Amino acid sequence: MHLSEFINQNSERIVRAWEDFAKTLASGGPLPRWILRDHASAIITFITQEMETDQPMQAQAKTNAEDALQRVSAAHGTLRIESGFDLAEVVAEYRALGRCVLSLWQLSEPSSFSNGAAEITRFVQVLDDSLGAAVSAYEQREVQYRDLFLGILGHDLRNPINAISFSAINLASSQLDDQQRLSLSRILNSTARLGSMVNDVLDFARGRLGSTMPLNVASANLATMVREVIDEVRTASPDSSITFSTTGDLDGHWDTERLKQALSNLLLNALEHGTGKTADVIAKREDDFVTLEVHNDGPPIPQESLGVIFDPLVRVIRPNQKQTGLGLGLYIVNEIVRAHGGTVTVTSTVEAGTSFIVRLPISRDDSH
């Protein structure tokens, strides 16, 4: 008896065995029978259909069987995450199905099993396709849940942060001694940093959810933006030393607040990782572009980290330095620059120090 015939004739027996195994994976407690059984029968049916339509003259039938198997497997993977299964348990479930089918075939049809290498290979291939669709659907839903959580978390954190900040500002008008003013300054600086981190989380979540970064483009001057950011950073870090030089016409059309956010991230990054809290900022015009370089001396970025430094949640480990933040700052910088149609690159050596170079078009091309 062919393997596909055997599966069809024993589908109920196979489904029961698969169901029994799924029960052992339900760590959250007993699951309803319909959840355990859900798409098992359909998956088995479509697996046999695809196995039986593997001939060239049946290409259309094979395509239909593949599509049906992909759909039901994806639905199965989605339901599994809704039921509390983790990804390893979904994979284990499919492995159990494969073992169950082949062991039953071997016990019931030992002769067919002994001569069925080609059928076993085909069965494993089709089962693997089904698993791939289930895992892909599972991972997509998992990403949606994670990003939705991040978005909600970032949004809900803003209210208490704003309450703390407004309360501290009100206290600033009171009669305070030097120690109290120092404490108040620390509160304001910390809430500002928290607010920046929340903005980074929201931007990260928005990007992961597939939304483009919103821009409010208007006429602006890059030098003016840079000076405003430097003043803000100096207020928060009065012991920092920042130089700024310009060359050429720095007028353009950009989202001022977004570029200030990007520059602030780059500048704070330079002061944190540089030597003696110093940084140099250089802005210049190059034809239809402007370039903005933020440079610091100090320990170089490891070469192996340069290729992933703009990836989200990457925290570059430098010698003898304490790591802070969420690892989203440079990712947000890259997203802001990309939204403007620009690029950001980094060079880092012991001799020359570290430079982040932003290249922005004077006007964004909205045709892309």
Domain ranges of the chain: 1-211, 218-361
Q: Which residues contact 116 (CB under 8 A, 6 or more apart)?
A: 2, 3, 105
Q: Are 290 and 362 in contact (CB under 8 A)?
A: yes
Q: Per residue in 2-47, pLDDT tens?
A: 888 888 888 888 888 877 777 776 555 555 555 556 677 888 888 8
Q: Are 131 and 89 in contact (CB under 8 A)?
A: no
For the record, the structure tokens of 251 come out as 């007028």
Where is 220: in which H helix or E strand?
Answer: strand 218-221
Please determine, looking at this structure, whether the domain spanning 218-361 carries the CATH number 3.40.10.10.
no
Q: Per residue in 214-225, pLDDT tens?
A: 788 999 999 999
DSSP string, 223-271: HHHHHHHHHHHHHH-TT-EEEEEEES--EEEE-HHHHHHHHHHHHHHHH
Buried b or exposed e, range 248-277, using 16+ CB within 10 angstroms? eebebebbbebbbbbbbbbbbbbbbbbeee
Strand, helix or coil at 295?
A: strand
What count of other Cβ atoms lies within 10 Å of the Cβ of residue 65?
A: 22
pLDDT in tens, the chain (368 residues): 888 888 888 888 888 887 777 777 655 555 555 555 667 788 888 888 888 775 544 455 556 657 877 888 888 788 777 777 778 888 888 888 888 888 888 888 888 888 888 888 888 888 888 888 888 888 888 777 777 777 677 777 877 888 888 888 888 878 888 888 888 888 887 887 787 777 777 777 666 656 667 788 999 999 999 999 998 888 777 788 999 999 999 999 999 989 998 998 899 889 888 777 899 999 999 999 999 999 999 888 888 888 888 887 666 655 555 555 556 788 889 989 999 999 999 999 999 999 999 999 998 655 44
CA distances from 282 to 292, 346, 363 (A): 6, 14, 20
Q: Per residue in 109-154, pLDDT tens?
A: 888 888 888 888 888 888 888 888 888 888 888 777 777 777 677 7
* pLDDT in the model for residue 354: 94
Say which residue the tokens 């989202």 belong to: 255
What count of other Cβ atoms lies within 10 Å of the Cβ of residue 311?
A: 12
* pLDDT in the model for residue 248: 95
For the record, the structure tokens of 284 come out as 């210049």
Q: Identify the CA nearest to 7 among candidates 38, 39, 52, 60.
A: 52
Domain 1-211 adopts which CATH fold? Globin-like (1.10.490)
DSSP string, 230-242: HHHHHHH-TT-EE
Q: Determine the Cα–Cα distance for residues 355 and 149; give it in Å rounded to an integer.
A: 35
For the record, the structure tokens of 322 come out as 């304490």
Position 226, amino acid: V
Q: Where are the alpha helices (DSSP H) in the chain?
A: 3-9, 11-25, 33-37, 40-52, 59-82, 87-108, 110-114, 117-172, 178-208, 222-236, 256-273, 303-306, 329-339
For the record, the structure tokens of 179 come out as 């120690």
Q: Determine the Cα–Cα distance for residues 143 and 336; give it in Å rounded to an integer.
A: 22
Q: Identify the CA nearest to 274 among candidates 245, 298, 292, 303.
A: 298
* pLDDT in the model for residue 228: 92
Question: Which contacts (CB < 8 Å, 24+ apart) does range 27-32 have?
Answer: 27/84, 28/83, 28/84, 31/83
